[in-house]
Structures are given as C-alpha cells and as structure tokens.
Structure 1
Amino acid sequence: MPTEEEKRDLERAEEYEHITARATVIGKNKIELSTGLIIAARYADKLRRVALVAFSRVAPKDVIVRDVAELNKKLYDIIVKEMKLNKLSVIRILVDAEYNERENKLEFDNIRVIRYLTEEECSNQLKQLNEKIKDLEKELQTYKEKIKKIEQLLSSS
C-alpha cells in the first residue's frame, strides 16, 4: 500500500508527464533522468517524480520508488558529505537509468551532480582567485630576482 507521500508523488508525476519532459530516451528501457534546476533540499522528491514519469510504462511503480530511494541515499552522500552543499544550493542532477527486466530493478550509472553558483559566490571566488594570482606574481618576481642575483654571482666569479 503506497504511503501518503508516494501517492502525492504519483499524482505529481502524472502532472509532470503532461507539463514537461525531464527524461531523454537513450536506449531500450534506458533513460537519462534530469531534475532540472532545483535546490538541494528537494532533490529526492524531484528525482523520484521524474523516474516515475519516465518509467511508468516500463517498470512497476513500487520498483521505481524502491530503487530511486536507494539512489537517493547515494546522492545524499555525494551532495552533503562529498560536495558539502547546503540545503539552498542550486543543483541539477543527471543520471542514466535502465530497467533490468530479468532482475526487476532499476540500475543507475553516470551520476552527475552539477552545482550552480550565485552571482555573489562567483564574485567572491573571482576575488579570491585574483588575490591568489597577485600573490603568485609576487612570488614569481621574488624568484626572478633571486635568479638574477645568482647569475650575477656566477658571472662575476
């Protein structure tokens, strides 16, 4: 029996099917899923809905929900532990998914999490990089001066 959340997702998945396509067919029972631009806090719901829409005619809904839940656990590790993103970070998730009829499961590979920066974050990073460039230019100048002194010492001896 589907939970209240799963029922809501199924209803929204049917809505999404009519409104927008977030899946690209890349082979028999193989589809690239895309969440579109979302905040990180919403990735699990969005990915589940996209998968439900994409695979609704191919795989049983309980299999889709089960296997996407496993994928979402992996994505949590990537988004929170590896990339250290906060809940409001803007991301897009792309993943290739294939329904394996023999094993009755969805298999995922080529998982990509793309983070988008705000203008302020870009400006801050640019500022930091410019400061680092200035520091490196000073360091380079120091080395050039040392090389000059060494060359002078070698030529005078």
Structure 2
Amino acid sequence: MPALAEPPTPDLLRRGRGSRVAWLILGLLLVGIGFVGIFLPLLPTTDFMLLALPCFARSSPRLEAWLLDHPRFGPAIRAWRRDRAVPRHAKVMAGLGMAVGYAIFWLHVRPNWLVSLGVAAFLLFWIIWIARRREPEAGQ
C-alpha cells in the first residue's frame, strides 16, 4: 500500500519556513541515527524512523511518503501508525537487545545492587510494555 506524496496541506503551508526547515533537519538527523542503528546492534533503528515520521509530516510530505513506502521500515511504521502494532520479530529483537544491553552494562559497570535492580526494573517495564502491544494482522 504505497503512500502517495500529496501536495502540501494548508496547515503545512501556514508553517513558517524556519519551522519547516527545523522539522526537516530534525527528521533527517533521526533518520541518520536510525541508519547508524543498522550497524550497531544495541541502537534501535525503527524507533528513530518512527520519530522521524512526524518531523517529515510537518516539513516534507515527500520524505514522509518515502519513509512510509520504504521496503524495510515502511511496513512496521505503517502498522504502528495505523494500529499501534509491533511485529513479533521486533518484540523478540527488542527483548534480546535489552537483555544483552543489560548484561553488558552489568559486566562492565559492576553497579551496586540498588542501581542494578533499578536498571533491571526499568528495562523489564519496557519489555513488558512492548510485549503487550498488538501484532499487525497478516496481509496488512
């Protein structure tokens, strides 16, 4: 389901040029960080693409459409936008990434038990939150 690049909306045209440029720069920065995340296993890629989407919606409908139509990130972004759904493989990878990140943190920092417990509780909260998100329906 390709997202068509629509002409700028009146709301977009009402925004000042400086505002649109600032949103565009922020969106490009977030896409850049997401791109780095492709190569760094503990840096989430899709999360930064999701954050870039509203920036592009406020600055460039063409880049918003590009992100929605991207063969790798588009389906997950559209599922999140439409249903707040997270694919099962993304849930598994998020959980594994947090577990590996915690293990690396624990082995290298050797925090006291209170800090260790606090970080573990924080990560556990987010793992449960992600696991409870809906999954996209097949074919969407």
Sort the TM-score into its range (normalised by shorter chain).
under 0.3
The structure with more strand, counted as a fraction of residues: 1
Larger radius of gyration: 1
TM-score, normalising length: structure 2: 0.28
The structure with more helix, counted as a fraction of residues: 2
TM-score, normalising length: structure 1: 0.26
